[in-house]
Structure 1
Amino acid sequence: MGFFVAVFYIVSRKIANPYKQALLLNMELEKKVTDRTIELREINKKVMDSIDYAKRMQESILPSGDELKSIFREHFVIWRPRDVVGGDFYWVREIGETVILAVGDCTGHGVPGSLMTMTVNAVLYNIVTGINKDDPEIILRELDKLLKQALNKGLKSDTTDDGLDITICCIKNKSRISYAGANISLYIKREQELKVCKGYKKGVGYHGTVLPDGLTNTVLPVKEGDVFILTSDGFIHQNGGNKNYPFGRKRFYNLIQNSSALSMEAMKTEFESALQEYMKDEPQRDDIVVLAFMVK
């Protein structure tokens, strides 16, 4: 009997020891997982705090609703960064009898894109307050030159090339609008007609961009009831529909032309509804900005 007890004791110890070791190992792994989870949570909080700060900074440089109301007869803005903050922006300044406005689409999304918008904001302000405020072509050329100096100085072929697509408009004495653009068009709805002013086909600020000598302003009289629309390509390139194709320029043209809205706020609702209905459950693929306005 004693022999069997001894054998049972030895076998039990052999079984118990690996079990105990496995239990200790499991506890150690659980502690490591818990510690790592806490560490990742802290890292994520720091990242989100940084993004929230970047959002506040970016929103602070965008024109306020009150500022836009004081400048335009009516307006609406759709600003939808893909990642809380982004590289799309709208910009407005009123100097004397001239209103200068821009819509831009900078390199990158998220925080890198938002930092680019802040840089462009500062450069534009310096141009219109110190160099020229009446000529979109000159403003565009100065922006191209100054961004190259600031961002892409000594650029090598294997490094990031930063720049942006942008359209610039100057409204003079509430009666005339001048336009020059780099890969962003100006849409003008006049009664039932739609006019599209197309700019240069490349962006500015990029190392390889050379603005052509033939780049000139498009100058148009402002008529009662004219609606002016500027948009980045985020709206137009958004995937959706039955075949998951981009929204497309033709659909965007039709959206403007067929709008029956009696106010800019109602038109904004039409635009947002059309976009949401088209994209459905598809994720937003790019930053989106649309600025539409009527001159006072």
Structure 2
Amino acid sequence: ACDCTGHGVPGALVSVVCSNALNRAVKEFHITEPGKILDKVRELVLETFDKSEGNIQDGMDISLLAISGVNAPSLSWSGAYNPLWVASNGKISELEGDKQPIGKSDNPKPFTTHTITLNPLPGGCGAVYLFTDGFADQFGGPKGKKFKYKQLQEKLLAISHRPLAEQKAELEKEFENWKGALEQTDDVCVIGIRI
């Protein structure tokens, strides 16, 4: 799940540059580890920005996941600002993303790859969630305030045992009810994967 900064035509151009860099990192450079993919994407994005005439300060926040293995499946994940939530056994655990974007930053460091061995729960009752800030930042409710991450986390935990199609429908309903007559403030992306 990724979210590019910027608006209008500049924002669209940043999205194209970031999408192209992500595709190249995986397809051209054959990188499979999420942290190393994000390192390469940042390098390619900055290389492209450096060639432009303007001083581009925009970039991308992303949560990148790779699942591998059949007999002993594992999950590798890396994030640029965005976290990963893992729902299992009645709670949600959070893996924090690195506090840096894909783009220019004051003190860039290599992105961290977190690896988790998956122990599938009976009936597949666990889930992982990747998301952008669009849902949590939506204004609405009785006081016209933001939905917030805590409320999103509580909602996901409450529905995490349900089939993914039902979760999707429930999140869409929750979003529309919260937003009400207010304008949607950002694009929204929530990805759930059953484990």
Same fold (TM over 0.5): yes
Q: How does 1:229-244 map to 2 (within 5 A)?
A: 229-244=129-144
Q: Give TM-score scaled by structure 1 length.
A: 0.59
Identity of aligned residues (%): 26
Q: Check if 1:211 corresponds to 2:108.
A: yes
* CA RMSD after TM alignment: 2.1
Q: How does 1:188-207 map to 2 (within 5 A)?
A: 188-206=86-104
By how many angstroms is 1:283 displaced?
0.5
User: Which of 117, 121, 132 lines up with 2:15 in the alignment?
Assistant: 117
Write out the 4+ residue segments of structure 1 that deviate beyond 4 Å after TM superposition: 153-156
Secondary structure of the corresponding residue to residue 66 of structure 2: strand
Q: What is the count of residue pairs matched by the alignment?
A: 189
**CA 1:176 to 1:236, structure 2 compared with 1: closer, same or farther past 3 Å?**
same
**CA 1:195 to 1:260, structure 2 compared with 1: closer, same or farther past 3 Å?**
closer
Letter of the 1:258 partner, please give it.
A
Secondary structure of the corresponding residue to residue 134 of structure 2: helix
Q: Check if 1:180 corresponds to 2:78.
A: yes
User: Is contact 1:109-1:287 (8 Å) kept?
Assistant: no
User: Which of 247, 262, 281 lines up with 2:147 in the alignment?
Assistant: 247
Work out the CA distance in 1 between the residues paired with 2:16 and 2:136. Answer: 24
5+ residue gaps, structure 2, are none
Work out the CA distance in 2 between the residues paired with 1:166 and 1:155. Answer: 26
Mark the structure with the bigger radius of gyration.
Answer: 1
User: Is contact 1:106-1:165 (8 Å) kept?
Assistant: yes
User: Is contact 2:139-2:182 (8 Å) kept?
Assistant: yes
Which residue of 2 is the match for residue 291 of structure 1? Answer: 191
User: Is contact 1:235-1:275 (8 Å) kept?
Assistant: yes
By how many angstroms is 1:195 displaced?
1.1
User: Is contact 1:240-1:280 (8 Å) kept?
Assistant: yes
Deviates more, 1:263-272 or 1:217-226: 217-226
Work out the CA distance in 2 between the residues paired with 1:217 and 1:282. Answer: 38
Secondary structure of the corresponding residue to residue 258 of structure 1: helix
Q: 1:199-233: CA deviations, max 9, x gaps?
A: 11221112x343325x4211101232231111110
Q: Give TM-score scaled by structure 2 length.
A: 0.87
By how many angstroms is 1:152 displaced?
3.7
**CA 1:130 to 1:106, structure 2 compared with 1: closer, same or farther past 3 Å?**
same
Work out the CA distance in 1 between the residues paired with 2:89 and 2:170. Answer: 17
User: Is contact 1:104-1:166 (8 Å) kept?
Assistant: yes
Q: Which has the higher helix share?
A: 1
By how many angstroms is 1:272 displaced?
1.0
